[in-house]
């Protein structure tokens, strides 16, 4: 018997337990921007243990796009330090499976892909500080319109580690000119969610010539009198994974995050879970 789907607007007032239950049962497979206000959301990377140390080095060398908040034990899908009963095989709304750097499949669970040598990484997400921006009265277009934040491959280079390297991916939010400094100061309080922006203003300085064509997410409306503000993005590892051409790797689908039980402002230790 097919289960009833749950809609985005009704889930905006749900607690993390209900949200993850809906996601685990595939009753909700959409983006997570604006959900679970006050809780840390996380990007996900899963790869074979043979590449785990190099990937951890990549995160340590590039903390803005890759703020590491949790690492699993080898072969263990439970992310115990991030919340109650989090199973990384089922608790993300939508996954991407890559083979040799190419997108192989997207799906709502990865049980049939899971291997005893897999290590799962959780990295902080900018969705976390969006609730603080909204509380301050700074409009967030993609949340208000049930869209996914636009993401772009910039010209900012990451620091390589092993096979992992490439350009930093950034998210863009258009902010009223008189609120930009406030948005910077608010996001700075969330270092585990990318912190302050990496660039403000002219997109061409970071290699972006057409903001209407993001590589991931939804196309934003014209800027009009707003200022484009760019934050480091946890899709950066997916860009690095595509370049590394690993035999297999699994990530969240951009915009579809793991919702944790961690308070959004907590100082999260980087520990095996």
Domain 40-124+242-260: give its CATH architecture.
Answer: 3-Layer(aba) Sandwich (3.40)
C-alpha to C-alpha distance for 70 and 167, rounded to whole angstroms: 23
pLDDT at position 267, please?
57
Q: Is 132 helix (H, G, I), strand (E, B) or coil?
A: helix
CB neighbour class for 162 (10 Å; exposed up to 12, middle 13-18, buried from 19): middle
pLDDT at position 3, please?
55
Of residues 208 and 15, more confidence is placed in 208
Average confidence (pLDDT) over 159-177: 97
Average confidence (pLDDT) over 233-259: 94
Q: Read off the DSSP letter of residue 228.
A: E
What residue ranges do the domains of the chain occupy?
A: 40-124+242-260, 127-232
C-alpha to C-alpha distance for 77 and 88, rounded to whole angstroms: 5
C-alpha to C-alpha distance for 50 and 123, rounded to whole angstroms: 19
Which distant-in-sequence residues (6+ apart) come within 8 Å of 28 by Cβ?
5, 6, 8, 11, 19, 22, 93
Q: Report the chain's mean pLDDT, rounded to a whole number.
A: 92
The angle at the Cα of 67, spanning 62 to 68, to the nearest 5 degrees, equals: 110
Domain 127-232 sits in CATH at 3.30.2040.10
Query: pLDDT at residue 269 above 80?
Result: no
Q: Which tens digits make up the pLDDT trace of 194-220?
A: 999 999 999 999 999 999 999 999 999
C-alpha to C-alpha distance for 60 and 174, rounded to whole angstroms: 29
Structure tokens at 256: 């579809």
Helix axes 127-135, 180-188, angle to 10 degrees: 130
Query: pLDDT at residue 117 above 90?
Result: yes
Residue 8: Cβ within 10 Å count = 15
C-alpha 177 chain-centroid distance: 26
- The pTM of the full predicted model, rounded to 2 decimals, is 0.90
Which distant-in-sequence residues (6+ apart) come within 8 Å of 244 by Cβ?
51, 101, 162, 163, 164, 165
Q: What percent of the chain is predicted at pLDDT more than 90?
A: 78
């Amino acid at each position: 018997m097919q289960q009833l789907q749950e809609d985005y607007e009704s889930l905006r007032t749900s607690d993390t337990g209900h949200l993850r239950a809906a996601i685990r049962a595939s009753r909700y497979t959409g983006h997570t921007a604006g959900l679970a206000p006050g809780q840390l959301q996380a990007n996900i990377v899963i790869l074979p243990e043979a590449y785990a140390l190099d990937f951890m080095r990549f995160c340590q060398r590039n903390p803005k796009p890759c703020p590491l908040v949790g690492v699993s034990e080898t072969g263990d899908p439970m992310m115990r330090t991030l919340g109650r009963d989090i199973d990384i095989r089922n608790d993300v709304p939508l996954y991407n499976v890559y083979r040799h750097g190419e997108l192989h499949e997207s799906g709502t669970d990865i049980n049939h892909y899971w291997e005893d040598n897999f290590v799962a990484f959780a990295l902080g997400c900018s969705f976390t500080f969006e609730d603080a921006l909204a509380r301050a009265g700074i409009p967030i277009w993609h949340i208000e319109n049930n869209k996914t934040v636009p993401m772009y491959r910039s010209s900012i280079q990451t620091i390589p580690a092993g096979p992992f390297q490439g350009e930093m991916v950034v998210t863009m939010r258009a902010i009223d000119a008189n609120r930009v400094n406030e948005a910077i100061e608010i996001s700075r309080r969330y270092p585990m969610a990318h912190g302050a922006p990496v660039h403000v203003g002219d997109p061409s300085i970071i290699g972006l010539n057409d903001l209407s064509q993001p590589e991931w997410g939804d196309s934003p409306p014209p800027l009009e009198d707003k200022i484009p503000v760019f934050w480091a993005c946890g899709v950066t590892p997916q860009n690095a994974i595509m370049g590394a051409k690993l035999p297999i790797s699994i990530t969240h689908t951009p915009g579809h995050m793991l919702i944790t039980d961690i308070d959004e402002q907590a100082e999260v230790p980087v520990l095996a879970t």
